[in-house]
Copies of this chain bind each other. A is one copy, B any other.
Amino acid sequence: MFETKTTSVKEVTTATLPSKAYAAQSATSQLAPWHFERRAVGPHDVLIEIRYCGVCHTDIHFLKNDLGMSVYPLVPGHEIVGIVTHAGDHVKKFKQGDVVGVGCLVESCRVCTNCNEGEEQYCLNGAVYTYNGIEKETGNVTYGGYSNQIVVNEDFVLHVSDQLPLNKVAPLLCAGITTYSPLRRWKIGKNHRVAIVGLGGLGHMAIKFAKSFGAEVTLLSTSPSKQKDAQNLGADQFVVTTDETNLQKIAGYFDFILDTVSSAHDLNIYLSMLKTHGTLVCLGIDPEPAQIAMLPVVFTGRTLAGSLIGGIAETQEMLDYCAEKHITCDVEMIDIKEINQAYERMLERDVKYRFVIDMTTL
């Protein structure tokens, strides 16, 4: 189904691989073409020719060094779909030509409690992120999916069904698993009233998953203009949260709220919408502390929690579920040279709902 480049086995397994990417050279620079070397393909690695890479809001956080931990040159991208062009000698799960995905993680310690429980994203010794991490094999910085190819240990590579449009699968590797995982953890299904805060890349996937699991789904948004889109995506209700009258109507209404907003905002209004023992799960990585009024939390036995992507096994489960249920992301395709403009539009919330880069344009 896919045409792949021919590279000699010796070349990819003994020498580093000249690679292309779009990189930022500092917190204030734009993304621009950059050449670098990927590590040679080890016996447990696969070499993946990247076809599509989704654009996550976290990419912008790292580009701008919002979390104070960015290392430059920075090559973002952790929603990767591509084709295996070479599999190391000891690779068991993949072969040349396989359609595969890579998400936010490319390695972990594999020995801690969390790794043993399949929660590599919470690796106690520090999971290796797909970009801006430290590559275990080389000690070098990891570079992400805004690139023509990537070398990844097979245990952090996912099988992707070729029955779904691959560009629409790419964002499942972050936006998909990040919303799927907490909905599964809190066993969301029929008889649950679920609210999703924010209609972006994560929010639109959260609606799809929560509906698919059988819940009654309400989209909470500050923009009245999103009502029709929310309903088209399957939301049963839509509430504009800037209207105080609306908030009174849904006080104490929801069993579970998934907050997908990544910028600073007041969590108390969402907590007040929860039933007794209801749970608000935050997915965004806002560096500012939240101000939480604890008195109403105590008086209603409510819960506030965080959740970070998902483990490798759960990510595979999510991809398989999506293939079975024909769930994909709504995407807007861009060429790699449009990436900086895409970031500007994302900051203005002008995307439905995920930009995906056609990496063949690199």
- A residues apposed to B, CB below 8 Å: 67, 113-114, 119, 122, 124, 252, 268, 276, 282-287, 289-295, 297-308
Contact = CB atoms under 8 A, between A and B. Distances in A.
Given A119-B276, A276-B119, A276-B122, A301 B295 contact: no
A303 B182 CA distance: 12
Interface centre among A286, A291, A298 (most CB of B within 10 A): A298
Interface core residue of A283, A284, A300 (most chain B CB under 10 Å): A300
Given A252-B124, A290-B291, A298 B303 contact: no
B295 A292 contact: no
Q: How many copies of the polypeptide does the oligomer hold?
A: 2
Nearest to A275: B113
B302 A295 contact: no
Q: Which 5 A-B pairs have the closest CB atoms?
A: A298-B306, A297-B306, A303-B305, A122-B276, A289-B291
Given A304-B304, A305-B304, A289 B293 contact: yes
A120 to B, nearest CB: 11
Contacts of A289: 268, 291-294
A113 B299 CA distance: 16
A69 to B, nearest CB: 11
Contacts of A124: 252, 276
B306 A276 contact: no
Nearest to A283: B298
26 contacts: A113-B276, A114-B276, A119-B276, A122-B276, A122-B300, A124-B252, A124-B276, A268-B289, A282-B297, A285-B299, A286-B294, A286-B295, A287-B295, A289-B291, A289-B292, A289-B293, A291-B291, A291-B292, A297-B304, A297-B305, A298-B306, A298-B307, A299-B306, A301-B306, A303-B304, A304-B305
B305 A282 contact: no
B302 A305 contact: yes
Contacts of A286: 294-295
B294 A306 contact: yes
A317 B313 CA distance: 41
A263 B316 CA distance: 46
Contacts of A298: 282-285, 306-308
B67 A295 contact: yes
Contacts of A268: 289
A118 to B, nearest CB: 12
Contacts of A300: 122, 306, 308
Nearest to A264: B294
A281 to B, nearest CB: 9
A291 B308 CA distance: 21
A305 B303 CA distance: 4
B306 A302 contact: yes
Nearest to A268: B289
Contacts of A276: 113-114, 119, 122, 124
Given A114-B276, A124-B252, A252-B124, A294 B301 contact: no
B302 A308 contact: no
Contacts of A114: 276
A77 to B, nearest CB: 20
Contacts of A303: 303-306
B302 A294 contact: no
Nearest to A287: B295
Given A268-B289, A292-B304, A299-B308, 7 more contacts: A113-B276, A122-B276, A282-B294, A285-B298, A290-B292, A290-B294, A291-B291
